[in-house]
Amino acid sequence: MDANHVPRGHGPPLASKPKKTAPTPLFFAAPPLCHSPVTQHGYDDPVGTRVTRSLADAVVPKLLFLCALSSVVATLAIAGLLGAEALGFVRTLGASGASGAAGARLATLVANTVVTTLVGVLVALPLGLVAAIYLSEFAGPRARRVFELGLDVLASLPTVVLGYLALALLGPAFAEKSALLSGVALGVMILPYFAARSEAAISAVPHNLREGAYALGASKLQAVNRIVLPAALGGIGAALLFAVARALGEVLILGIVTGHAPEGRWDAWVLEASSHLARASLSATIEGALSLVALAVVMAVPASVGAASWLEEYAPRGRIMSLVETVARKLAAAPPIVYGLLGLAIFVRVLGSGESALAGAAMLALLLLPRMTTAFREALRAVPGSLREACLALGADRLRTLREVVLPAAMPGLSRGALRSLARAAVETAPLACIGAIELSALPWKLLGAA
């Protein structure tokens, strides 16, 4: 494989470049068979380009590798920090006495969360599944386009916003705020995300499976029930888990960020946290958030493209590599607010109380890196291998294959990934700003410790 990196360098001597007056640039138009394949075309190939090209061939893969390394290291560092902080939190709880108020609170919190989650799943599972099946199997193309877009937009909203809406609308209908109300709110929160992911999972079932079912005389409903749904079961399960984890994670963290000690009921948190979020991000931070996000994206996009390119096009395939990859991928899927919060912690710790937009953006870019790299890798992977083969068969090296064909062909996927990450970044800046409104000394960790 290494041989593919070799730049062109064994062509004929440059002196044999034909005169510009040569009538035809094409080999087969010239009668005598010439043994030097390049000169007969009259290509313009000054020495300069050749030198820079071999230099680029040597340097660029290493640069791309550095990008990939930084992406993986960033992910691991974030996860490590999260683990360390969580451990510290649990220790604090233990020290303050297992029979103490904190322990009891934690127990009720856990119990409540379990009940709430069950109710939420009961609400979201049937609704989301029906929506997903309708969209992927029964909806016409136009309806599908409209609904999918709507679903995507809803799914990309921070779940707390949906939770706030649900609580505000449903609150009066329930006599008192109970686990049932929380559960329904949770169900609403996870519904769009769950439906969107399930729809993707169902759509991903190969078409010939459906055709196989129809060929055996199955009706549409039978095909869906017997063939398509079982085939998509894994994806649907994963969608449900991810949706719940995301909603719970975001709500809990926002609750902590806004300074509320864990109580037995978290529906109050959602209300409080999301209204706080709305206030903070609307009044004070639209401008700041915009510049922060723009700066972060400018920093994160090139690094992520580099990292994704190395991982997809250059990385050696091996067991260690795939292990690192799997870990990084799993970690990159954590709720974005976890990253936002941790980013702020690093930001404050490492940079002191420095509040320069540049430092903040650098931090945000670091947080964006793992997720964006994952998104870009998907986009690169979607470029058919036959195109790479076509390039190599035309005598291109890997770098040019990447630059001229793979990246342009992946462009729609890349820009979609970048936009999605950008939306995420905007969502993530909101809690950052939120805490920025609080005094910097009131760090989440202190809140956690005091709880």
| Residue 334 vs 396, nearer CB to another protein | 396
* CA distances (Å), origin 444, targets 115, 249, 360, 440: 27, 15, 17, 9
Contacting positions for another protein (CB under 8 A): 1, 3-4, 6-11, 20, 24-29, 33, 35, 37-38, 40-45, 49, 53, 317, 384, 386-387, 389-397, 400-401, 404-405, 408-409, 411
* Distance, first Cα to last Cα, the chain: 57
Name the nearest CA neighbour of 115 among 168, 161, 162, 184. 184
Least Å distance, CB 9 to another protein, is 6
Least Å distance, CB 446 to another protein, is 52
At residue 317, the 3 state secondary structure works out as coil
Maximum alpha-carbon separation in the chain: 96
Least Å distance, CB 19 to another protein, is 11
Residues 6+ apart with CB under 8 A from 115: 179, 183
Least Å distance, CB 312 to another protein, is 14
Cα separation, 105 vs 98, whole angstroms: 11
Identity of the residue numbered 325: E
> Residue 126 in contact with residue 395, Cβ under 8 Å?
no
Name the nearest CA neighbour of 437 among 276, 228, 215, 198. 276
Least Å distance, CB 398 to another protein, is 10
Cα separation, 156 vs 414, whole angstroms: 18
Least Å distance, CB 20 to another protein, is 7
Cα separation, 151 vs 352, whole angstroms: 41
Identity of the residue numbered 49: T
Least Å distance, CB 86 to another protein, is 40
Q: How many CA atoms lie within 13 A of 296 on its CB side?
A: 32
Least Å distance, CB 391 to another protein, is 6
Identity of the residue numbered 347: F
| Residue 58 vs 84, nearer CB to another protein | 58
CA angle 447, 450, 451 (to 5 degrees): 85
| Residue 127 vs 409, nearer CB to another protein | 409
